[in-house]
Amino acid sequence: TSPFAWLRTRFYYLLIRLYFDHEFSIEEFTRGAKQAFSVVSKLLSQRKLDLLEELVSAEVLQVLKEKISLLPDSHRDALAADIDAIMYTTEGDVRIYYDDDGRKFVSILMCFWYLNGANLPDEVPGEAKVFQIVFGDENTKEKKHLLTANYE
């Protein structure tokens, strides 16, 4: 990230500690976000949306129901991220905002890069890139894709 973005996020972390949670730690938050990402992504891939009711808002759940039903099985399988398959995690954007009732909220966008063995096509339309990694020798090849996910 740029030095300005890095400085900006550190300033927001200070504000979070001062006004929301005096014990806030981005390292601890990231560990929890990885666990949450793994759980939610697996439930999405298995279409167990009823188990997400306590984890996401009703509005988001409705959108997820519509979007998941349109995905082919291979793309739905690619949503699942085992916590051990997460290769890299970083925060994307941090925001503090107020709603109409004056309540304060913190929003942290987390970006995850993870390996997944879903049977995805080698070529995808548009500007998306699919990175493939092959493990093993000639007899025991295992192809995995390096995928990205952004969760807020």
> Degrees (nearest 5) of the Cα angle 3, 27, 42?
110
Q: Where are the domains of the chain?
A: 3-108
Tokens representing 82 are 């085992």
Examine the pLDDT at 125 and tell me if it is beyond 80. no
Tokens representing 54 are 């306590």
Contact at 8 Å (CB) between 79 and 45?
yes
Q: Please tell me the predicted confidence (pLDDT) of residue 134.
A: 61
Say which residues have a Cβ less than 8 Å from residue 30's Cβ, sequence separation at least 6: 89, 91, 110
Distances in Å between the alpha carbon of 103 and those of 18, 50, 89, 95, 150?
A: 16, 28, 29, 14, 25
Say which residues have a Cβ less than 8 Å from residue 51's Cβ, sequence separation at least 6: 43
Mean pLDDT on 111-120: 85
Q: Please tell me the predicted confidence (pLDDT) of residue 132.
A: 58
Give the closest residue to 95 by CA, choosing from 19, 37, 5, 12: 12
Q: Please tell me the predicted confidence (pLDDT) of residue 81.
A: 92
How far apart, in whole angstroms, are the C-alpha atoms of residue 79 and residue 117?
Answer: 10
Examine the pLDDT at 98 and tell me if it is beyond 70. yes
Tell me the per-residue pLDDT of 16-54, one tens digit each, with 9 for 90 and over. 999 899 999 999 999 999 999 999 999 999 999 989 988
